[in-house]
Amino acid sequence: MRIAKTAVALSAAVLIVSCSSTSKNSASSSAAASNSTQQSAKQKYLNEAREVLDGFKVKLADDSLNDLSYFAPKPLALAKKKFKDAMEEYDDIAKGGGSLLNIFTSEEEEALEAKKEIIKLVATAESELNKAKKIRESAKTILGDVFSRRDYLKQLNVTKIYPKTFQKLNNEIDGMVKDIAEGEIERATKEQAKMSAELLALEVKTVKYIELNELNEQIASYKKAKIDDALPRTFQGLVNARNTADAVISADPRAKEAIKTAVDKVKFEIAHLKHLHKAYKELASTKKTSYELYLIAAENNLHTIASAMQLGDLRNIAMKDQADAIADKANQLLTEVELAKSNAAAKLDSSANAQDKLQQENAALKTELNGVNAKLTKINDELKVLLTEKAGLQSQVKQQQVELIKLKSMNEVLLPLAKKQSNEQQETPQNQVVVVTPAATQAETPVAASQVVEQTQDLKAETEQAKKEVKQLQQAVEDAEEAAAEAIEAAQTAAENAQQATDDAESATEAALKAAESAAAN
């Protein structure tokens, strides 16, 4: 009994152990499958999060955003911070360290929540980035003129000419940009007009320095040397030119052509003053005994100019009158030159018009020549047709001639026979006994004779008709040959005339071009 109980107990123990082992194996397989599913889902969420991060990273690396640190530093910094937080969240999950929150029961759930958090952080970063872009757009709209003037001043190298003034204005501009970034748009808008005016004033000042500073220093040195006392009128002309240039720059510091003209006038007056002052010093240092030599030298200069203008020797009149005579001659020569230019231009225009007309005529002649060539081609085609018809007609003539020969041969055979039968009928006496022949023979004899006569007559008629047709065919061939010859001759004549006209037009065009070139050269 005890053995039986022991056996039962052992059996039960074995059964329990067996069941426990089976349960553990099943649980292990289920856990492995669940873990694989979770890993797959986790990787999917990580990939989706990475895609979002990479997309924003590309936007953040765009070169067009480089100036956002100037226009909107705070939103840009916040956008970068949120993006950095999102990257850290991703790195923690990707490395298996768990979410920063670390309150999840499974890796799948943890990865899903991490993805949501990353998307949220990137969305915030993108929102801040868009905010920074809008701030930049507002700043460029409100301060567009200010920025443009500041950039132009930099091109003028203002930082080396007036560095302190420019730096002061630049700091104020930075403050206006900061106001816009902080929402103080109204304040920045009010300050914009004042800043534009100050920048314009600095631009005018800078351009005056660039264009007139050295010239002003020369003028100051002349005044210090008291040249204005020696040559007051000439010196005042220089000052007036300088004041005009100053006014031109003040009116528009970017009117480069007008400024150049005004500044060149100042440079001219400076050179004028220098040479005149040199002559003044020479005159001032001349002794009374040398006055005559000084005057003769001046008179000789006028005489050289007068001789070059073929005015002869004018030294028998006052030097002022000599100068007036030279001026009158110069004006006369200038008038003649202008007239010659005008005539040359008129000839050139006339030559150009003639050239245009000749070109038009040449084009018309070429068109006409093309038409003649087309007609010639058509005539050649018609000639080919006529030659083909001629060959056909000649073939028909030969055929008719063969038929005519046959008809003549038959006529030569049948005509004597017909005459013989006719003569025999006429020679038979009326009272001659007629030999009775069979009916067939009696009937055939007159019929045969009649047929021979008819055939003979028909042959004659056909022969005459054949002769007429042969003559007509020969006449048609002759007419076709004559028409073809006339057509060829007419086409050749037209082509020669058209070619000659084209050659004449080209020769005339070349002559007109040479005449125009000659007129232009003269």
Residue range 18-48, pLDDT digits in tens: 444 444 444 454 445 455 666 677 888 889 9
Q: CA geometry: angle at 342 spanning 338 and 347, to 5°?
A: 145
Contact 113, 99 (CB under 8 A): yes
The reply to whether 409 and 470 lie within a common domain is: yes
Q: Is 324 a domain residue? A: no
The reply to whether 179 and 254 lie within a common domain is: yes
pLDDT value for 219: 97
Q: What one-character-per-residue DSSP string does 389-406 give?
A: HHHHHHHHHHHHHHHHHH
Which whole number is the average pLDDT over 116-123?
94
* Mean pLDDT, all residues of the chain: 81
Q: Is 429 a domain residue? A: no
Q: Is 430 a domain residue? A: no
Domains contained in the chain, number:
3
The reply to whether 184 and 252 lie within a common domain is: yes
> How far apart are the C-alpha atoms of 186 and 192, rounded to whole Å?
10
The reply to whether 78 and 161 lie within a common domain is: no
CB atoms within 10 A of CB 372: 20
The reply to whether 271 and 170 lie within a common domain is: yes
Cα 511 from chain centre: 36
The reply to whether 74 and 157 lie within a common domain is: no
The reply to whether 225 and 267 lie within a common domain is: yes
State the CATH number of the domain containing residue 364: 1.10.287.2610
The reply to whether 91 and 179 lie within a common domain is: no
Domain boundary among 285, 305, 338: 285
Which whole number is the average pLDDT over 110-137?
94
Confidence of residue 432 (pLDDT cuts 50, 70, 90): very low
pLDDT tens-digit map of 266-284 = 999 999 999 999 999 988 8
**Of the listed ranges 216-230, 243-257, 436-450, the one predicted with least confidence:** 436-450
Domain boundary among 142, 162, 196: 142
The reply to whether 136 and 173 lie within a common domain is: no
Confidence of residue 443 (pLDDT cuts 50, 70, 90): very low
The reply to whether 130 and 185 lie within a common domain is: no
Q: Is 299 a domain residue? A: no
| Residue 419 identity | K
Q: Among candidates 513, 202, 152, which has minimal Cα distance to 362? A: 513
Q: Is 426 a domain residue? A: no
> How far apart are the C-alpha atoms of 108 and 368, rounded to whole Å?
92
Domain boundary among 285, 315, 340: 285
pLDDT tens-digit map of 355-372 = 788 788 778 878 877 886
The reply to whether 186 and 99 lie within a common domain is: no
- The range of the structural domain enclosing residue 358 comes to 352-419+447-521
Cα 444 from chain centre: 104
Q: Give residue 312's region: left, alpha or beta (phi > 0; psi -120 to 50).
A: left
Contact 150, 170 (CB under 8 A): yes
Q: Is 11 a domain residue? A: no
With 0.85 as the threshold, say if the pTM is over it.
Answer: no
